[in-house]
Structure 1
Amino acid sequence: MTTAPADPVASPLAMPGRAMGVITPSANLVVERVTAAVLQSFPDISAHYSRSPVRGSKDPFPAGYDLAGMLGAARLLGDAALDAIVWNGSKGASIGFTHDRDLAAAITRETGIAATTSMLAIDAELRRLGITHVGVVTPYRRDEQERLCAVLEAEGYRVVAEAHSGVADNLAFMRVPPAEIAAMVGEVAAARPQAVLTLCTNFPAAFQVAGLEAATGLPVYDTTLAGVWAGLVAAGIDTRPGASAWGRMFATGEAQ
């Protein structure tokens, strides 16, 4: 007696049709955890990772990117002929979005693959919706928060409220308690910005975004989720199936 072969479509070993590359800071665990959780709603795409050095509390490239390191990480991903590459990092919010635009363009020149970043995705969505007044929540120290808010103001956003945890070390960002994150979002939401930004891709706000949007009545744009969303869109994936679990950004469904 012979047994019929398993249906390859139903098999957990079925190969996704598309693939996106993700560059993440080396001290980060949140990006991969969030990406894996989100992609449960998107079986037609897989994520593949490369890292850029980020260690401790001091950035050896405070005014820009380690371009050689970033492009080295991108080249390794490019070997796999992916559909898109995304820098899932929030540094652009502290050094200016031009650095992210230049980085994305350099990755595409180097690899021939469409590239974007978390902060470019948030900026594009805010501009599409005409949002200019924002609240900002991060795990950072006060001096880092002040620099970040100044950059956002220079990019055309009015920061009407902010809250930060005062954490100094990259590894500790991921350990900010969910209740503290929710309280900070509630605090800045009380100032009634048009949207709340949770910035830092090693800050575990992503898992609360849908609930925080429901509780505050405001859109919440998280850098880690924005990076996943941007990678999906750049790879041609309709993101709307993820909206109920991951928030309003996913309801957009396509790049603007």
Structure 2
Amino acid sequence: MAHSASEAYTAQQRFIGVITPSGNTVVERITLGILRDVPEVSPHFSRTPVFGSTDPSPTAYAQEGFLAAAALLAHAKPEVLVWNGSKGAGIGFAHDAALAAAIEQQTGIPATTSILGLKTALALRGITRIAVVTPYSDAGQQGALDCLHTEGYDCIAEAHAGYSDNLSYASVPLPQIADMMRSVVAAKPQAIVTLCTNFPAAVLAAPMEVELGIPVFDTTALGVWAALHAIGADMRAAAPRWGSLFA
């Protein structure tokens, strides 16, 4: 681990490009936090318009903004580009695969997303029976549950905070998030999935795994994991603070 500012700077020899929703205050903070434990990787950020409570493109991605953000990040020549957003869990994973393919075609840089990371991480562990915890409204939660069911997951328990504005998702208190996680454990899921990349649940994953005895996979952390997995980075040092996803 580097100790001086110059050592920390010169250790960062691998770049990842991160696209985040414009109304998001969580992705950069979580990404920087996780990568403190992966000191050779430096994240670089760009934004695409996602904000407020109304989605002008509710059943698909408006790709123009994503491709513009990706084009700017491509100037820095990162090893991978990642969309750290969770919309694909409400509209279908195929949309994320198509978005990643479009970004890669435009930039020539491999691309992934937090939802593609979720799919991969669960498949690697043979997990299909999940509990879903989110900040969403009733309608938003039902849309996510319906989509996840279509994707082959058995959502046996859920809890949601009832928020509908993108910015407000970040304001859910950590004790409330922890209580929502506790509320779904009785159903005995294989894992808890905390869904929404402007929801600060990632900081609770490690301690709640210890308390509850099951994995907690957060979509914001999954965006970081997907990027690190894509470039073959050793992320095991992040596991004690950020959970078994990184082990």
* TM-score (norm: length of structure 2): 0.96
Deviation at 1:236, TM superposition (A): 2.5
User: Which SS does the other structure have where 1:165 is aligned?
Assistant: strand
Identical-residue share of aligned pairs (%): 51
Q: Could you tell me which of 83, 97, 101 is aligned with 1:87? A: 83
Deviation at 1:15, TM superposition (A): 5.3
* Match in the other structure for 1:107: 103
* Match in the other structure for 1:214: 210
Q: Is the 8 A contact 2:202 2:220 kept in 1?
A: yes
* Match in the other structure for 1:180: 176
User: Which SS does the other structure have where 1:22 is aligned?
Assistant: strand
Decide which moves more: 72-81 or 234-243.
234-243
Q: Is the 8 A contact 1:104 1:117 kept in 2?
A: yes
* Match in the other structure for 1:11: 7
Counterpart amino acid of residue 232 in structure 1: L
* Match in the other structure for 1:44: 40
Alpha-carbon distance change, 188 to 111 in structure 1, aligned in 2, over 3 angstroms:
same
Q: Is the 8 A contact 1:116 1:231 kept in 2?
A: yes
Q: Is the 8 A contact 2:8 2:39 kept in 1?
A: no
Q: Is the 8 A contact 2:85 2:113 kept in 1?
A: yes
Q: Is the 8 A contact 1:197 1:221 kept in 2?
A: yes
Match runs of 1:207-246 below 5 Å: 207-246=203-242
* Match in the other structure for 1:155: 151
Counterpart amino acid of residue 202 in structure 1: N
* Match in the other structure for 1:4: none
Deviation at 1:10, TM superposition (A): 5.9
Over aligned residues, Cα RMSD in angstroms?
Answer: 1.5
In structure 1, distance between residues paired with 2:133 and 2:8: 38
In structure 1, distance between residues paired with 2:149 and 2:36: 36
User: Which SS does the other structure have where 1:41 is aligned?
Assistant: coil
In structure 2, distance between residues paired with 1:28 and 1:51: 9
In structure 2, distance between residues paired with 1:13 and 1:66: 36
* Match in the other structure for 1:121: 117
Q: 1:168 and 2:164 equivalent?
A: yes
Alpha-carbon distance change, 186 to 91 in structure 1, aligned in 2, over 3 angstroms:
same
Q: Hey, which of these two has a bigger chunk of helix by percent?
A: 2
Q: 1:96 and 2:86 equivalent?
A: no
Deviation at 1:80, TM superposition (A): 1.1
Deviation at 1:9, TM superposition (A): 9.6
User: Which SS does the other structure have where 1:166 is aligned?
Assistant: strand
In structure 1, distance between residues paired with 2:29 and 2:6: 24
Q: Give aligned pairs, total.
A: 245
Q: 1:130 and 2:126 equivalent?
A: yes
Q: Which 5+ residue runs of structure 1 have no aligned equivalent?
A: 1-6, 252-256
Deviation at 1:152, TM superposition (A): 0.2
User: Which SS does the other structure have where 1:139 is aligned?
Assistant: strand
* Match in the other structure for 1:191: 187
User: Which SS does the other structure have where 1:60 is aligned?
Assistant: coil
Deviation at 1:11, TM superposition (A): 3.0
* Match in the other structure for 2:20: 24
Where in structure 1 do 4 or more consecutive aligned residues deviate above 4 Å? 7-10
Q: Could you report, residue by residue, the CA deviation over 1:36-64 in whole angstroms, capped at 9, with x for unpaired residues?
A: 11111111110000101012100011001
In structure 2, distance between residues paired with 1:178 and 1:8: 32
Please say which structure displays the higher CA radius of gyration.
1
* Match in the other structure for 1:254: none
Q: Is the 8 A contact 2:82 2:227 kept in 1?
A: yes
* Match in the other structure for 2:64: 68
Deviation at 1:8, TM superposition (A): 9.2
Counterpart amino acid of residue 59 in structure 2: A
* TM-score (norm: length of structure 1): 0.93
